């Protein structure tokens, strides 16, 4: 049937079957588990591929079965009603599967590294940055992803001035890459005794965790490594040892800090990984800016250029300025229920 051929082609099942075979052969190699991190990523990829193949085969079978029922000579009204119900169920399943076709970027399947920086506004912005951190933490938990905090700079009174964390899971970066930008909150401040309305800003940056084999050379003379005492949560061993590492890339001014691990060596290794990812994407951005300059596109950094607005007063509304998505359920979104929001952003892009 033509519909089945088109449906199978949409999800490129043949290439997934080929990749599944390749991975199964890789896993037979006696050296496969020598690099556990790499092996775990491949196993996760295999699980995802098997899931997609299984889902596509299931839908194709259901489409074929119902097609034959609808166009059979002895169909009655009762069967037509059942077929219509099955159609609605299949439509939902296909829509869910179709989302996967948007995750076709080179790094979409990678883990996501997210940085949040509080904007001007002191206590208000620091609290808002921490609210965003919690939103992504809850999203990761709901999605079955893991959340690993790499660095945090606490606010003077509440919240955080900045935080860097990693969300680990297949397609984490693909789903979250659109979160990059300025996020704006409008609410009655819990820190204002006069109960006035405040507007707070926080900048979110998202990049993929690049494989360790990334071809970026970091020359020792180009970096400055500072060791200092860890702060914030992490246990007594972390907080009382000089294990935190700050790496400054002198030519670009990029600064990366990591204090998650007890080991100074491991913190330095992780900081270098993040630095390489930043340098790699800095180069990609330069190329992109060159294209933008040729097109003549101008981007505003003003008050109205926020990626997304979360309004809690005088009405409730979350509006994404990229996709146009709107929702009045601000509390649910801030509690990590952002799947629909992320999906609309993916479709828009």
Is 155 in the same domain as 195? yes
Is 186 in the same domain as 328? yes
Q: pLDDT averaged over the chain?
A: 83
- For 64-105, the pLDDT digits (tens) are 888 877 777 677 788 778 888 888 888 888 877 777 778 878
Q: 349 vs 97, 137, 207, 322, 346, CA distance in Å?
A: 17, 24, 17, 8, 5
**Residue 143 reports pLDDT greater than 80:** yes
Start-to-end CA distance of the chain, whole Å, equals 32
Does 301 reside within a domain?
no
Is 138 in the same domain as 60? no
pTM assigned to the model? 0.73
Is 121 in the same domain as 206? yes
Is 136 in the same domain as 174? yes
Does 257 reside within a domain?
yes
Q: Which domain holds residue 274?
A: 220-295
Does 105 reside within a domain?
no
As given in the structure block, the two tokens for residue 72 are 């059979």
**Residue 213 reports pLDDT greater than 80:** no
Strand partners, 152: 163
Q: Are 7 and 63 in contact (CB under 8 A)?
A: yes
- Interatomic CA distance for residues 258 and 89, integer angstroms: 47
As given in the structure block, the two tokens for residue 300 are 């505003």
- Interatomic CA distance for residues 147 and 164, integer angstroms: 11
Does 300 reside within a domain?
no
Tally of structural domains, the chain: 3
Is 145 in the same domain as 15? no
Is 117 in the same domain as 56? no
Is 280 in the same domain as 234? yes
Does 320 reside within a domain?
yes
Does 179 reside within a domain?
yes
Residue 127: band (very low, low, confident or very high) from pLDDT cuts 50, 70, 90: very high
Is 324 in the same domain as 200? yes
Model pLDDT, residue 288: 63
């Amino acid at each position: 049937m033509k519909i089945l051929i088109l449906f199978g082609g949409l999800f490129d099942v043949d290439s997934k079957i080929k990749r599944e075979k390749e991975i199964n052969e890789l896993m037979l190699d006696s050296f496969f588990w020598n690099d556990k991190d790499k092996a775990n990523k491949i196993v996760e990829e295999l699980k995802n591929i098997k899931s997609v193949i299984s889902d596509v085969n299931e839908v194709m079978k259901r489409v074929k079965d119902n097609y034959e029922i609808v166009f059979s000579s002895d169909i009655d009204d009762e069967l037509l009603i059942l077929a219509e119900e099955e159609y609605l169920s299949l439509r939902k399943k296909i829509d869910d599967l179709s989302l996967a076709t948007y995750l076709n970027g080179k790094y979409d399947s990678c883990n996501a590294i997210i940085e949040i920086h509080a904007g001007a506004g002191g206590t208000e912005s620091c609290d808002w940055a921490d609210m965003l951190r919690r939103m992504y933490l809850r999203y990761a938990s709901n999605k079955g992803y893991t959340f690993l905090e790499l660095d945090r700079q606490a606010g003077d009174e509440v919240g955080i001035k900045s935080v860097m964390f990693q969300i680990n899971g297949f397609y984490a970066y693909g789903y979250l890459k659109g979160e990059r930008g300025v996020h704006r909150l409008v609410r009655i401040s819990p820190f204002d005794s006069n109960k006035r309305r405040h507007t707070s800003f926080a900048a979110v940056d998202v990049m993929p965790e690049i494989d360790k084999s990334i071809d970026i050379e970091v020359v020792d003379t180009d970096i400055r490594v500072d060791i200092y005492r860890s702060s914030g949560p992490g246990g007594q061993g972390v907080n009382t040892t000089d294990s935190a590492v700050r790496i400054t890339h002198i030519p670009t001014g990029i600064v990366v800090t990591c204090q998650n691990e007890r080991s100074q060596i491991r913190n330095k290794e992780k900081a270098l990984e993040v630095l390489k990812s930043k340098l790699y994407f800095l180069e990609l951005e330069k190329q992109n800016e060159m294209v933008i300059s040729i097109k003549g596109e101008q981007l505003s950094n003003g008050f109205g250029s926020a990626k997304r607005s979360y309004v809690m007063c005088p009405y409730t509304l979350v509006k994404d300025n990229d996709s146009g998505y709107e929702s009045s359920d601000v509390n649910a979104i801030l509690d990590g229920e952002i799947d629909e929001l992320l999906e609309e952003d993916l479709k828009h892009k």
